Structure 1
Amino acid sequence: MLNSVTDTIGRFKFENLVFMGEASMMLNTQNEKGKNRGMLVLDSLYLPPMVVDFKKDSIIYTPENTVVKENVYKKHIMFGIAAENILDEVEIIAKKKNGPASLYGNADNTYVIDEKTQHFSDIFQLIQFSIPGVTAIGGVIGFNRYGARPAYILIDGVEWDQNDLMGIHTDDVAKIEAFKGSSAAIFGTRGGNGVIIIYTKEGVINKDPKPVFHSITQKIEGLHDARVFYSPEDIENPFFEMDNRRAIRNTLYWNPYVHPNENGTVEVTYSNSEVNTTVKVTLEGITAVGIPIVVSTNYTIETN
Protein backbone atom coordinates (compact mmCIF):
# COMPACT_ATOMS: atom_id res chain seq x y z
CA MET A 1 0.00 0.00 0.00
CA LEU A 2 1.24 3.48 -0.94
CA ASN A 3 0.04 6.85 0.24
CA SER A 4 0.47 10.32 -1.20
CA VAL A 5 -0.77 13.82 -0.42
CA THR A 6 -1.92 16.09 -3.24
CA ASP A 7 -0.38 19.47 -3.88
CA THR A 8 -2.31 22.75 -3.83
CA ILE A 9 -3.95 22.04 -7.21
CA GLY A 10 -4.79 18.41 -6.46
CA ARG A 11 -1.98 16.65 -8.31
CA PHE A 12 -0.14 13.63 -6.91
CA LYS A 13 2.07 10.81 -8.17
CA PHE A 14 3.56 7.47 -7.17
CA GLU A 15 7.09 6.73 -8.35
CA ASN A 16 9.13 3.54 -8.80
CA LEU A 17 6.15 1.21 -9.26
CA VAL A 18 7.97 -1.87 -10.57
CA PHE A 19 6.00 -5.09 -11.09
CA MET A 20 5.78 -7.88 -13.64
CA GLY A 21 2.77 -8.83 -15.72
CA GLU A 22 -0.82 -7.80 -15.01
CA ALA A 23 -1.88 -6.34 -11.67
CA SER A 24 -5.08 -4.89 -10.22
CA MET A 25 -4.59 -1.36 -8.96
CA MET A 26 -7.02 0.31 -6.57
CA LEU A 27 -6.91 4.07 -6.03
CA ASN A 28 -8.93 5.72 -3.30
CA THR A 29 -9.13 9.30 -2.00
CA GLN A 30 -9.81 10.37 1.57
CA ASN A 31 -10.12 13.70 3.32
CA GLU A 32 -8.17 14.81 6.40
CA LYS A 33 -10.62 12.94 8.66
CA GLY A 34 -10.07 9.64 6.83
CA LYS A 35 -13.48 9.65 5.13
CA ASN A 36 -13.82 8.48 1.54
CA ARG A 37 -14.30 11.82 -0.18
CA GLY A 38 -13.11 13.59 -3.29
CA MET A 39 -13.02 12.94 -7.02
CA LEU A 40 -10.33 11.41 -9.23
CA VAL A 41 -9.77 13.22 -12.54
CA LEU A 42 -7.41 11.96 -15.25
CA ASP A 43 -4.55 14.34 -15.96
CA SER A 44 -2.85 14.69 -19.35
CA LEU A 45 -0.76 11.63 -20.27
CA TYR A 46 0.09 12.55 -23.84
CA LEU A 47 3.75 12.95 -24.77
CA PRO A 48 5.18 14.44 -27.97
CA PRO A 49 6.40 11.86 -30.51
CA MET A 50 10.08 10.94 -30.62
CA VAL A 51 12.07 12.93 -33.17
CA VAL A 52 14.16 10.68 -35.43
CA ASP A 53 16.71 11.43 -38.11
CA PHE A 54 15.60 9.01 -40.82
CA LYS A 55 17.07 9.95 -44.20
CA LYS A 56 17.30 6.61 -45.98
CA ASP A 57 14.48 4.67 -47.56
CA SER A 58 13.30 1.60 -45.69
CA ILE A 59 14.42 -1.70 -47.22
CA ILE A 60 11.86 -4.46 -47.04
CA TYR A 61 12.85 -7.99 -48.05
CA THR A 62 10.16 -10.40 -49.18
CA PRO A 63 11.59 -13.91 -48.77
CA GLU A 64 9.91 -17.07 -49.92
CA ASN A 65 7.20 -18.22 -47.59
CA THR A 66 7.94 -21.39 -45.66
CA VAL A 67 5.04 -23.69 -44.93
CA VAL A 68 4.92 -25.07 -41.39
CA LYS A 69 2.42 -27.67 -42.46
CA GLU A 70 4.94 -29.16 -44.89
CA ASN A 71 7.58 -29.49 -42.17
CA VAL A 72 5.11 -31.22 -39.85
CA TYR A 73 4.22 -33.62 -42.66
CA LYS A 74 7.92 -34.45 -43.16
CA LYS A 75 8.24 -35.13 -39.46
CA HIS A 76 5.39 -37.66 -39.58
CA ILE A 77 6.99 -39.40 -42.55
CA MET A 78 10.36 -39.63 -40.73
CA PHE A 79 8.62 -41.34 -37.81
CA GLY A 80 7.04 -43.87 -40.17
CA ILE A 81 3.48 -42.58 -39.97
CA ALA A 82 1.60 -43.42 -43.15
CA ALA A 83 0.00 -40.45 -44.92
CA GLU A 84 -3.49 -41.96 -44.65
CA ASN A 85 -3.08 -42.10 -40.86
CA ILE A 86 -2.34 -38.38 -40.50
CA LEU A 87 -5.43 -36.65 -39.16
CA ASP A 88 -6.63 -33.31 -40.39
CA GLU A 89 -6.49 -30.40 -38.00
CA VAL A 90 -8.87 -30.86 -35.06
CA GLU A 91 -10.03 -27.86 -33.03
CA ILE A 92 -10.97 -28.63 -29.43
CA ILE A 93 -13.11 -26.03 -27.70
CA ALA A 94 -13.78 -26.23 -23.96
CA LYS A 95 -14.65 -23.71 -21.29
CA LYS A 96 -13.62 -24.10 -17.67
CA LYS A 97 -16.36 -23.35 -15.16
CA ASN A 98 -14.59 -20.76 -13.07
CA GLY A 99 -16.94 -17.83 -13.56
CA PRO A 100 -15.89 -14.30 -14.51
CA ALA A 101 -12.22 -13.39 -14.12
CA SER A 102 -11.36 -12.02 -10.69
CA LEU A 103 -10.53 -8.31 -10.55
CA TYR A 104 -8.58 -8.50 -7.30
CA GLY A 105 -6.42 -11.62 -7.33
CA ASN A 106 -6.87 -14.72 -5.17
CA ALA A 107 -9.81 -14.44 -2.80
CA ASP A 108 -10.13 -16.22 0.56
CA ASN A 109 -13.41 -17.78 -0.59
CA THR A 110 -14.83 -18.16 -4.08
CA TYR A 111 -18.17 -19.62 -5.09
CA VAL A 112 -19.22 -20.04 -8.74
CA ILE A 113 -22.95 -20.29 -9.36
CA ASP A 114 -23.92 -22.99 -11.85
CA GLU A 115 -26.91 -25.14 -12.75
CA LYS A 116 -26.41 -27.25 -9.61
CA THR A 117 -26.72 -24.30 -7.21
CA GLN A 118 -29.98 -24.39 -5.30
CA HIS A 119 -32.41 -21.53 -5.65
CA PHE A 120 -32.60 -18.81 -3.00
CA SER A 121 -35.29 -16.20 -2.55
CA ASP A 122 -32.87 -13.29 -2.13
CA ILE A 123 -29.21 -12.32 -2.49
CA PHE A 124 -28.64 -12.35 1.29
CA GLN A 125 -29.46 -16.07 1.55
CA LEU A 126 -27.22 -16.83 -1.42
CA ILE A 127 -24.26 -15.01 0.16
CA GLN A 128 -24.73 -16.80 3.50
CA PHE A 129 -24.83 -20.14 1.67
CA SER A 130 -21.81 -19.52 -0.56
CA ILE A 131 -19.42 -17.76 1.86
CA PRO A 132 -18.66 -19.40 5.24
CA GLY A 133 -18.66 -17.21 8.35
CA VAL A 134 -21.09 -14.63 6.92
CA THR A 135 -24.41 -13.63 8.42
CA ALA A 136 -27.17 -11.33 7.18
CA ILE A 137 -29.14 -9.91 10.09
CA GLY A 138 -31.62 -7.14 9.52
CA GLY A 139 -30.50 -6.75 5.92
CA VAL A 140 -26.86 -6.20 6.95
CA ILE A 141 -24.19 -8.56 5.56
CA GLY A 142 -21.11 -9.04 7.72
CA PHE A 143 -18.45 -11.53 8.77
CA ASN A 144 -18.80 -13.18 12.18
CA ARG A 145 -15.11 -12.51 12.89
CA TYR A 146 -15.84 -8.77 12.77
CA GLY A 147 -18.94 -8.89 14.95
CA ALA A 148 -21.19 -8.94 11.86
CA ARG A 149 -20.34 -5.29 11.13
CA PRO A 150 -21.26 -4.28 7.56
CA ALA A 151 -18.87 -5.68 4.98
CA TYR A 152 -17.62 -3.65 2.03
CA ILE A 153 -19.67 -4.65 -1.04
CA LEU A 154 -18.54 -4.45 -4.67
CA ILE A 155 -20.60 -5.53 -7.66
CA ASP A 156 -18.63 -5.96 -10.90
CA GLY A 157 -15.93 -3.69 -9.46
CA VAL A 158 -18.31 -0.90 -8.39
CA GLU A 159 -19.07 0.03 -4.78
CA TRP A 160 -22.67 -0.65 -3.72
CA ASP A 161 -24.69 0.27 -0.67
CA GLN A 162 -26.03 -2.78 1.16
CA ASN A 163 -29.52 -1.27 1.11
CA ASP A 164 -29.52 -1.57 -2.69
CA LEU A 165 -28.70 -5.30 -2.75
CA MET A 166 -32.33 -6.34 -2.66
CA GLY A 167 -32.53 -5.29 -6.28
CA ILE A 168 -30.06 -8.04 -7.28
CA HIS A 169 -31.82 -11.21 -8.42
CA THR A 170 -30.06 -14.44 -7.45
CA ASP A 171 -30.37 -15.80 -11.00
CA ASP A 172 -28.27 -12.89 -12.23
CA VAL A 173 -25.26 -13.75 -10.05
CA ALA A 174 -22.32 -15.56 -11.67
CA LYS A 175 -19.71 -15.64 -8.87
CA ILE A 176 -19.16 -14.44 -5.30
CA GLU A 177 -15.77 -13.76 -3.68
CA ALA A 178 -14.79 -12.89 -0.12
CA PHE A 179 -11.68 -11.15 1.21
CA LYS A 180 -10.99 -11.01 4.93
CA GLY A 181 -8.03 -10.55 7.21
CA SER A 182 -4.72 -9.65 5.60
CA SER A 183 -5.99 -10.33 2.07
CA ALA A 184 -8.48 -7.46 2.46
CA ALA A 185 -5.62 -4.98 2.98
CA ILE A 186 -5.62 -4.16 -0.76
CA PHE A 187 -8.94 -2.39 -0.18
CA GLY A 188 -7.46 -0.08 2.45
CA THR A 189 -9.62 1.04 5.36
CA ARG A 190 -12.74 0.07 3.42
CA GLY A 191 -11.83 -3.58 3.81
CA GLY A 192 -11.51 -3.40 7.60
CA ASN A 193 -14.71 -5.41 8.11
CA GLY A 194 -14.11 -7.76 5.19
CA VAL A 195 -15.04 -7.48 1.53
CA ILE A 196 -17.67 -9.32 -0.53
CA ILE A 197 -17.50 -9.08 -4.31
CA ILE A 198 -20.41 -10.11 -6.51
CA TYR A 199 -19.93 -10.76 -10.23
CA THR A 200 -23.08 -10.74 -12.34
CA LYS A 201 -23.85 -12.36 -15.64
CA GLU A 202 -23.08 -10.05 -18.52
CA GLY A 203 -25.74 -7.43 -19.20
CA VAL A 204 -28.17 -8.34 -16.42
CA ILE A 205 -27.79 -5.38 -14.04
CA ASN A 206 -30.16 -2.65 -15.15
CA LYS A 207 -30.22 -0.67 -11.91
CA ASP A 208 -27.66 2.12 -11.85
CA PRO A 209 -25.34 1.72 -8.84
CA LYS A 210 -24.56 4.53 -6.48
CA PRO A 211 -22.01 6.72 -8.31
CA VAL A 212 -18.52 6.54 -6.83
CA PHE A 213 -16.03 9.31 -7.62
CA HIS A 214 -13.40 8.70 -4.95
CA SER A 215 -12.37 5.19 -6.01
CA ILE A 216 -10.98 3.57 -9.16
CA THR A 217 -10.12 -0.09 -9.79
CA GLN A 218 -8.20 -0.91 -12.93
CA LYS A 219 -6.09 -3.75 -14.29
CA ILE A 220 -2.83 -2.46 -15.77
CA GLU A 221 0.18 -4.08 -17.40
CA GLY A 222 3.58 -3.92 -15.73
CA LEU A 223 6.93 -5.03 -17.10
CA HIS A 224 6.81 -7.92 -19.54
CA ASP A 225 7.77 -11.22 -17.93
CA ALA A 226 9.53 -12.83 -20.89
CA ARG A 227 9.64 -16.59 -21.19
CA VAL A 228 12.88 -18.41 -21.97
CA PHE A 229 12.85 -19.78 -25.50
CA TYR A 230 13.74 -23.46 -25.62
CA SER A 231 16.91 -24.30 -27.52
CA PRO A 232 18.79 -27.62 -27.15
CA GLU A 233 22.21 -26.80 -25.73
CA ASP A 234 23.71 -30.28 -25.92
CA ILE A 235 23.61 -31.19 -29.60
CA GLU A 236 24.86 -34.73 -28.96
CA ASN A 237 22.38 -35.49 -26.19
CA PRO A 238 19.37 -33.14 -26.39
CA PHE A 239 17.11 -33.65 -23.37
CA PHE A 240 13.89 -32.78 -25.24
CA GLU A 241 14.15 -34.65 -28.54
CA MET A 242 14.63 -38.39 -28.34
CA ASP A 243 16.68 -38.32 -31.53
CA ASN A 244 18.15 -35.05 -32.79
CA ARG A 245 18.17 -36.37 -36.35
CA ARG A 246 14.39 -36.40 -36.21
CA ALA A 247 14.01 -33.12 -34.37
CA ILE A 248 11.91 -30.63 -36.33
CA ARG A 249 11.28 -27.28 -34.66
CA ASN A 250 9.14 -24.84 -36.58
CA THR A 251 10.98 -21.98 -34.82
CA LEU A 252 14.68 -22.68 -34.40
CA TYR A 253 15.80 -19.65 -32.44
CA TRP A 254 14.39 -16.49 -30.87
CA ASN A 255 16.29 -13.92 -28.85
CA PRO A 256 14.83 -10.52 -27.83
CA TYR A 257 18.12 -9.25 -26.32
CA VAL A 258 20.59 -9.08 -29.21
CA HIS A 259 22.95 -6.08 -28.96
CA PRO A 260 25.67 -5.53 -31.61
CA ASN A 261 29.14 -4.44 -30.50
CA GLU A 262 30.83 -1.15 -31.38
CA ASN A 263 31.55 -2.52 -34.87
CA GLY A 264 27.88 -3.33 -35.46
CA THR A 265 28.30 -7.12 -35.37
CA VAL A 266 26.98 -9.81 -33.08
CA GLU A 267 27.24 -13.61 -33.06
CA VAL A 268 24.50 -16.04 -32.02
CA THR A 269 24.62 -19.83 -31.88
CA TYR A 270 21.73 -22.27 -32.24
CA SER A 271 20.95 -25.78 -33.48
CA ASN A 272 19.48 -26.32 -36.92
CA SER A 273 16.76 -28.82 -37.64
CA GLU A 274 17.89 -32.07 -39.28
CA VAL A 275 15.53 -31.84 -42.25
CA ASN A 276 15.77 -30.48 -45.77
CA THR A 277 14.08 -27.12 -45.62
CA THR A 278 14.43 -23.38 -46.09
CA VAL A 279 14.93 -21.27 -42.98
CA LYS A 280 13.80 -17.68 -42.73
CA VAL A 281 15.92 -15.30 -40.63
CA THR A 282 14.31 -12.04 -39.49
CA LEU A 283 16.04 -9.23 -37.63
CA GLU A 284 13.87 -6.55 -36.03
CA GLY A 285 15.14 -3.74 -33.86
CA ILE A 286 15.54 -0.05 -33.26
CA THR A 287 18.63 2.15 -33.31
CA ALA A 288 19.80 4.45 -30.55
CA VAL A 289 18.15 7.40 -32.32
CA GLY A 290 14.82 5.63 -32.78
CA ILE A 291 15.09 4.33 -36.36
CA PRO A 292 13.28 0.98 -36.78
CA ILE A 293 15.17 -1.81 -38.56
CA VAL A 294 13.57 -4.84 -40.27
CA VAL A 295 15.74 -7.19 -42.34
CA SER A 296 14.96 -10.70 -43.59
CA THR A 297 16.92 -13.36 -45.45
CA ASN A 298 16.83 -17.11 -46.13
CA TYR A 299 19.19 -20.03 -46.05
CA THR A 300 18.76 -23.69 -46.98
CA ILE A 301 19.38 -26.83 -44.91
CA GLU A 302 20.43 -29.87 -46.94
CA THR A 303 21.07 -33.19 -45.24
CA ASN A 304 23.06 -36.07 -46.68
Structure 2
Amino acid sequence: MIAKLFRGMLPAVLAVVVTVGCQTVQTTGGGAVGVERTQTMMVSAREVEQASAQAYQQILAEARKQNALNRDAAQVQRVRRIANRLIAQTAVFRSDAPGWQWEVNVLSSDELNAWCMAGGKIAIYTGLIDQLKLSDDEIAAVMGHEIAHALREHARERISKSVATGIGVSVLGAVLGVGQAGQSLLGQVATVTFELPNSRLHETEADRIGVELAARAGFDPRAAVTLWNKMASRSAGAPPQWLSTHPSHATRQRDLNDYAERVMPLYRQASAR
Protein backbone atom coordinates (compact mmCIF):
# COMPACT_ATOMS: atom_id res chain seq x y z
CA MET A 1 0.00 0.00 0.00
CA ILE A 2 2.78 2.44 0.97
CA ALA A 3 4.66 1.55 -2.21
CA LYS A 4 1.56 2.36 -4.29
CA LEU A 5 1.11 5.68 -2.51
CA PHE A 6 4.79 6.49 -3.02
CA ARG A 7 4.57 5.74 -6.74
CA GLY A 8 1.36 7.72 -6.97
CA MET A 9 2.92 10.77 -5.36
CA LEU A 10 6.19 10.62 -7.33
CA PRO A 11 4.97 12.93 -10.16
CA ALA A 12 3.97 15.55 -7.58
CA VAL A 13 7.32 15.26 -5.86
CA LEU A 14 9.16 15.62 -9.14
CA ALA A 15 7.05 18.66 -10.00
CA VAL A 16 8.11 20.33 -6.76
CA VAL A 17 11.74 19.49 -7.45
CA VAL A 18 11.54 20.97 -10.93
CA THR A 19 10.06 24.22 -9.64
CA VAL A 20 13.03 24.66 -7.32
CA GLY A 21 15.26 24.75 -10.37
CA CYS A 22 17.29 21.88 -11.76
CA GLN A 23 19.70 21.70 -14.65
CA THR A 24 20.76 18.75 -16.75
CA VAL A 25 24.44 18.98 -17.61
CA GLN A 26 27.25 17.03 -19.21
CA THR A 27 30.16 17.81 -16.91
CA THR A 28 32.85 16.03 -18.92
CA GLY A 29 33.63 14.69 -22.33
CA GLY A 30 33.57 10.93 -22.71
CA GLY A 31 37.26 10.40 -23.30
CA ALA A 32 38.47 7.03 -24.57
CA VAL A 33 36.65 5.29 -21.71
CA GLY A 34 33.28 6.62 -22.86
CA VAL A 35 31.82 8.30 -19.76
CA GLU A 36 28.89 10.20 -21.26
CA ARG A 37 26.11 10.16 -18.67
CA THR A 38 24.22 13.42 -18.17
CA GLN A 39 23.70 14.68 -14.61
CA THR A 40 20.94 16.64 -12.92
CA MET A 41 22.10 19.50 -10.73
CA MET A 42 20.12 21.66 -8.33
CA VAL A 43 23.01 23.71 -6.95
CA SER A 44 25.53 25.74 -8.91
CA ALA A 45 29.10 24.68 -9.53
CA ARG A 46 30.27 28.02 -8.16
CA GLU A 47 28.53 27.47 -4.83
CA VAL A 48 30.06 24.03 -4.41
CA GLU A 49 33.52 25.22 -5.44
CA GLN A 50 33.41 28.16 -3.04
CA ALA A 51 32.32 25.95 -0.18
CA SER A 52 35.01 23.41 -1.06
CA ALA A 53 37.72 26.05 -1.15
CA GLN A 54 36.68 27.34 2.26
CA ALA A 55 36.56 23.86 3.76
CA TYR A 56 39.94 23.00 2.26
CA GLN A 57 41.60 26.03 3.80
CA GLN A 58 40.12 25.15 7.17
CA ILE A 59 41.50 21.62 6.90
CA LEU A 60 44.94 22.92 5.97
CA ALA A 61 44.90 25.41 8.85
CA GLU A 62 44.04 22.68 11.33
CA ALA A 63 46.71 20.38 9.90
CA ARG A 64 49.23 23.20 10.14
CA LYS A 65 48.40 23.68 13.83
CA GLN A 66 49.02 19.99 14.44
CA ASN A 67 52.26 19.99 12.42
CA ALA A 68 50.63 17.52 10.05
CA LEU A 69 50.88 19.52 6.82
CA ASN A 70 53.58 18.71 4.25
CA ARG A 71 56.12 17.51 6.82
CA ASP A 72 58.29 15.58 4.35
CA ALA A 73 59.48 17.93 1.58
CA ALA A 74 60.68 15.09 -0.65
CA GLN A 75 57.36 13.27 -0.35
CA VAL A 76 55.40 16.44 -1.10
CA GLN A 77 57.55 17.10 -4.15
CA ARG A 78 56.96 13.54 -5.36
CA VAL A 79 53.19 13.78 -4.93
CA ARG A 80 52.96 17.19 -6.61
CA ARG A 81 55.08 16.03 -9.54
CA ILE A 82 52.70 13.11 -10.13
CA ALA A 83 49.64 15.34 -9.68
CA ASN A 84 50.92 17.93 -12.15
CA ARG A 85 51.31 15.28 -14.85
CA LEU A 86 47.74 14.14 -14.27
CA ILE A 87 46.33 17.68 -14.15
CA ALA A 88 47.94 18.42 -17.52
CA GLN A 89 45.73 15.70 -19.04
CA THR A 90 42.41 16.87 -17.57
CA ALA A 91 41.60 18.94 -20.67
CA VAL A 92 40.73 15.66 -22.41
CA PHE A 93 37.63 15.57 -20.22
CA ARG A 94 37.07 19.29 -19.53
CA SER A 95 38.65 22.23 -21.30
CA ASP A 96 38.36 24.44 -18.21
CA ALA A 97 39.99 22.03 -15.75
CA PRO A 98 43.67 22.88 -16.38
CA GLY A 99 42.83 26.45 -15.36
CA TRP A 100 41.34 25.52 -12.01
CA GLN A 101 43.11 26.76 -8.90
CA TRP A 102 44.63 23.38 -8.16
CA GLU A 103 46.19 22.73 -4.77
CA VAL A 104 48.00 19.53 -3.75
CA ASN A 105 49.00 18.80 -0.16
CA VAL A 106 50.11 15.85 1.93
CA LEU A 107 48.57 15.31 5.38
CA SER A 108 50.36 13.26 8.01
CA SER A 109 47.80 10.70 9.14
CA ASP A 110 47.60 6.93 9.54
CA GLU A 111 44.36 6.92 7.52
CA LEU A 112 44.40 5.19 4.14
CA ASN A 113 42.77 8.11 2.40
CA ALA A 114 42.97 10.68 -0.38
CA TRP A 115 40.44 13.06 -1.87
CA CYS A 116 39.93 15.89 -4.34
CA MET A 117 37.33 18.55 -3.60
CA ALA A 118 35.44 20.50 -6.22
CA GLY A 119 37.69 22.87 -8.15
CA GLY A 120 40.84 20.78 -7.71
CA LYS A 121 41.62 20.83 -3.97
CA ILE A 122 43.64 17.64 -3.39
CA ALA A 123 44.92 15.92 -0.26
CA ILE A 124 46.64 12.56 0.11
CA TYR A 125 47.46 11.00 3.48
CA THR A 126 50.86 9.63 4.43
CA GLY A 127 49.23 6.46 5.76
CA LEU A 128 48.09 5.55 2.27
CA ILE A 129 51.51 6.12 0.73
CA ASP A 130 53.63 4.62 3.48
CA GLN A 131 51.56 1.72 4.77
CA LEU A 132 50.73 0.41 1.29
CA LYS A 133 54.20 1.29 -0.03
CA LEU A 134 52.73 2.87 -3.13
CA SER A 135 54.72 3.19 -6.33
CA ASP A 136 54.47 6.34 -8.47
CA ASP A 137 52.07 4.48 -10.75
CA GLU A 138 49.87 3.54 -7.80
CA ILE A 139 49.88 7.09 -6.45
CA ALA A 140 48.81 8.20 -9.92
CA ALA A 141 45.98 5.65 -9.79
CA VAL A 142 44.77 7.06 -6.46
CA MET A 143 45.03 10.68 -7.53
CA GLY A 144 43.60 10.06 -10.99
CA HIS A 145 40.55 8.48 -9.36
CA GLU A 146 40.08 11.38 -6.95
CA ILE A 147 40.62 14.00 -9.68
CA ALA A 148 37.98 12.21 -11.74
CA HIS A 149 35.42 12.76 -8.98
CA ALA A 150 36.10 16.50 -9.22
CA LEU A 151 35.99 16.54 -13.02
CA ARG A 152 32.61 14.79 -12.98
CA GLU A 153 31.38 17.10 -10.17
CA HIS A 154 30.18 14.11 -8.18
CA ALA A 155 30.03 16.14 -4.97
CA ARG A 156 27.71 18.65 -6.62
CA GLU A 157 25.59 15.84 -7.97
CA ARG A 158 25.28 14.16 -4.58
CA ILE A 159 24.35 17.46 -2.92
CA SER A 160 21.73 17.99 -5.62
CA LYS A 161 20.31 14.52 -5.05
CA SER A 162 20.15 15.19 -1.31
CA VAL A 163 18.28 18.43 -1.94
CA ALA A 164 15.82 16.67 -4.24
CA THR A 165 15.38 13.77 -1.82
CA GLY A 166 14.79 16.15 1.08
CA ILE A 167 12.08 17.98 -0.82
CA GLY A 168 10.48 14.69 -1.86
CA VAL A 169 10.46 13.31 1.68
CA SER A 170 8.92 16.51 3.06
CA VAL A 171 6.13 16.53 0.48
CA LEU A 172 5.37 12.86 0.95
CA GLY A 173 5.39 13.23 4.72
CA ALA A 174 2.86 16.06 4.56
CA VAL A 175 0.57 14.32 2.08
CA LEU A 176 0.63 10.95 3.82
CA GLY A 177 0.16 12.52 7.23
CA VAL A 178 3.19 10.80 8.77
CA GLY A 179 5.30 12.33 11.50
CA GLN A 180 9.03 12.78 11.86
CA ALA A 181 9.62 9.04 12.23
CA GLY A 182 7.73 8.34 9.04
CA GLN A 183 9.63 10.99 7.16
CA SER A 184 12.87 9.55 8.48
CA LEU A 185 11.89 6.11 7.23
CA LEU A 186 10.97 7.47 3.83
CA GLY A 187 14.30 9.30 3.78
CA GLN A 188 16.13 6.04 4.47
CA VAL A 189 14.21 4.30 1.71
CA ALA A 190 15.06 7.11 -0.67
CA THR A 191 18.71 6.89 0.35
CA VAL A 192 19.16 3.18 -0.30
CA THR A 193 17.02 3.34 -3.43
CA PHE A 194 18.50 6.37 -5.14
CA GLU A 195 21.77 7.44 -3.53
CA LEU A 196 23.61 4.16 -2.97
CA PRO A 197 23.40 2.93 -6.58
CA ASN A 198 24.53 6.33 -7.81
CA SER A 199 27.46 6.24 -5.42
CA ARG A 200 28.54 2.95 -6.93
CA LEU A 201 28.18 4.54 -10.34
CA HIS A 202 30.33 7.48 -9.23
CA GLU A 203 33.07 5.11 -8.11
CA THR A 204 33.01 3.26 -11.41
CA GLU A 205 33.14 6.49 -13.40
CA ALA A 206 36.07 7.73 -11.31
CA ASP A 207 37.89 4.42 -11.77
CA ARG A 208 37.53 4.57 -15.55
CA ILE A 209 38.45 8.22 -15.94
CA GLY A 210 41.29 7.73 -13.48
CA VAL A 211 42.98 4.97 -15.48
CA GLU A 212 42.75 7.10 -18.63
CA LEU A 213 44.26 10.14 -16.91
CA ALA A 214 47.09 7.95 -15.60
CA ALA A 215 47.72 6.37 -19.00
CA ARG A 216 47.78 9.71 -20.82
CA ALA A 217 50.19 11.06 -18.19
CA GLY A 218 52.59 8.16 -18.79
CA PHE A 219 51.71 6.08 -15.72
CA ASP A 220 50.93 2.39 -16.07
CA PRO A 221 47.11 2.14 -15.78
CA ARG A 222 47.41 -1.48 -14.60
CA ALA A 223 48.70 -0.08 -11.30
CA ALA A 224 45.07 0.65 -10.43
CA VAL A 225 44.56 -3.11 -10.12
CA THR A 226 47.57 -3.62 -7.84
CA LEU A 227 46.44 -0.62 -5.79
CA TRP A 228 42.97 -2.02 -5.16
CA ASN A 229 44.45 -5.45 -4.43
CA LYS A 230 46.43 -3.78 -1.66
CA MET A 231 43.29 -2.00 -0.47
CA ALA A 232 41.36 -5.28 -0.53
CA SER A 233 43.93 -6.85 1.76
CA ARG A 234 43.09 -4.12 4.30
CA SER A 235 39.32 -4.52 3.93
CA ALA A 236 38.61 -8.03 5.23
CA GLY A 237 35.01 -8.37 6.32
CA ALA A 238 33.76 -5.54 4.10
CA PRO A 239 29.97 -5.57 3.54
CA PRO A 240 28.59 -7.22 0.39
CA GLN A 241 28.19 -5.06 -2.68
CA TRP A 242 24.43 -4.53 -2.37
CA LEU A 243 24.89 -2.99 1.09
CA SER A 244 27.84 -0.82 0.16
CA THR A 245 28.24 2.55 -1.51
CA HIS A 246 31.29 1.18 -3.34
CA PRO A 247 31.54 -1.68 -5.82
CA SER A 248 32.83 -4.94 -4.35
CA HIS A 249 36.55 -5.51 -4.75
CA ALA A 250 35.97 -8.36 -7.22
CA THR A 251 33.69 -6.20 -9.37
CA ARG A 252 36.06 -3.26 -9.18
CA GLN A 253 39.10 -5.34 -10.13
CA ARG A 254 37.36 -6.85 -13.14
CA ASP A 255 36.32 -3.43 -14.38
CA LEU A 256 39.76 -1.92 -13.75
CA ASN A 257 41.43 -4.78 -15.60
CA ASP A 258 39.15 -4.23 -18.58
CA TYR A 259 39.57 -0.45 -18.76
CA ALA A 260 43.29 -0.51 -18.03
CA GLU A 261 43.71 -2.72 -21.10
CA ARG A 262 41.56 -0.36 -23.16
CA VAL A 263 43.85 2.60 -22.41
CA MET A 264 47.15 0.74 -22.73
CA PRO A 265 47.72 2.22 -26.24
CA LEU A 266 47.52 5.71 -24.66
CA TYR A 267 50.08 4.67 -22.05
CA ARG A 268 52.46 3.28 -24.67
CA GLN A 269 52.09 6.45 -26.72
CA ALA A 270 52.78 8.66 -23.70
CA SER A 271 55.76 6.53 -22.62
CA ALA A 272 57.29 6.80 -26.07
CA ARG A 273 57.36 10.60 -25.96
TM-score in same-fold range (> 0.5): no
TM-score bucket (shorter structure): under 0.3
* Structure with higher helix content: 2
* Structure with higher strand content: 1
Kindly indicate whether structure 1 or structure 2 has the higher relative contact order, using CA contacts under 8 Å at least 6 residues apart.
1
TM-score calculated relative to the size of structure 1: 0.22
